[in-house]
Amino acid sequence: MIDAIGVFDSGVGGLTVVAALRRRLPEESILYLGDTARLPYGSKSPDTVKGYTRRNIEFLTGRGVKAVVIACNTASALALPSLEMHELPTWGVIEPGALKAARVSRGRVGVIATEATVRSDAYPRALRALRPELEIVSRACPLFVPLVEEGWHDDSITEEVARRYLAPLLEAGIDTLVLGCTHYPLLVPVLQRVAGPDVTLVDSAEAVAEMVAAGLADRHLESTHPAVHELCVTDSGETFQRIARQILQDPGVGLEWVEVV
Quick check: 185 binds ligand DGL (CB under 6 A)?
no
Residue 234 binds to ligand DGL (criterion: CB under 6 A): no
- Nearest distance from C-beta of residue 44 to ligand DGL, angstroms: 8
d(C-alpha 71, C-alpha 222), whole Å? 20
Are 13 and 183 in contact by the 8 Å Cβ rule? The answer is: yes
By CB under 6 A, is residue 42 in contact with ligand DGL? Answer: yes
Number of amino acids touching ligand DGL (CB under 6 A): 17
User: What is the biggest distance separating any 2 CA atoms in the chain, rounded to whole angstroms?
Assistant: 51
Q: Does 237 bind ligand DGL (CB under 6 A)?
A: no
Query: According to CB under 6 A, which residues from 73 to 102 bind ligand DGL?
Result: 73-74
Q: Does 240 bind ligand DGL (CB under 6 A)?
A: no
Calculate the alpha carbon distances from 157 to 40, 143, 146, 171 in Å. Answer: 20, 11, 12, 21
First-to-last CA distance in the chain? 19
Among 79, 145, 166, 177, binds ligand DGL (CB under 6 A): 145
Give the DSSP letter of residue 36.
T
Catalytic residue flag (residue 141): no
Nearer to ligand DGL, 41 or 240 (CB): 41
Asked if 182 interacts with ligand DGL (CB under 6 A), we say yes
- Residues of span 44-63 touching ligand DGL by CB under 6 A: none
72 is catalytic: yes
Query: Counting Cβ atoms within 10 Å, is residue 226 exposed (0-12), middle (13-18) or buried (19+)?
Result: exposed
Asked if 53 and 95 touch (Cβ cutoff 8 Å), the reply is no
Which residue among the candidates 5, 72, 161, 174 is catalytic per the annotation? 72
Q: Identify any residues that bridge with 89 across adjacent strands, giving them in sequence order.
A: none
> Which residues lie near ligand DGL (CB under 6 A)?
9-11, 13, 39-42, 72-74, 114, 117, 145, 181-183
- Active site residue ranges: 72, 181
